[in-house]
Amino acid sequence: MIKLTRIDGTEFYMNPDLIEVLEASHDTHVTLTNGHKYVCAESPEVIDERSAEFRRMSMGAVRRVS
């Protein structure tokens, strides 16, 4: 799970495997594969990096490859 922030400042956790679409406007709109939509304060780039880090950790990667 990755930690994200709602516009009102509250934090929540999302399963990054369910992310289907990230849309950038003033805020970031996240659409999941089940059709649920969320608005987050983080940029799509930050969400993408957190998702990648989650996958690296879940796959047991020891170090980041550049």
Can you give the pLDDT at residue 66?
59
| pLDDT one-digit tens code per residue, 10-44 | 999 999 999 999 999 889 999 999 999 999 999 99
Q: Within the chain, where are the H helices? A: 44-58
pTM > 0.85: no
Can you give the pLDDT at residue 17?
95
Which amino acid does the sequence have at 14?
M
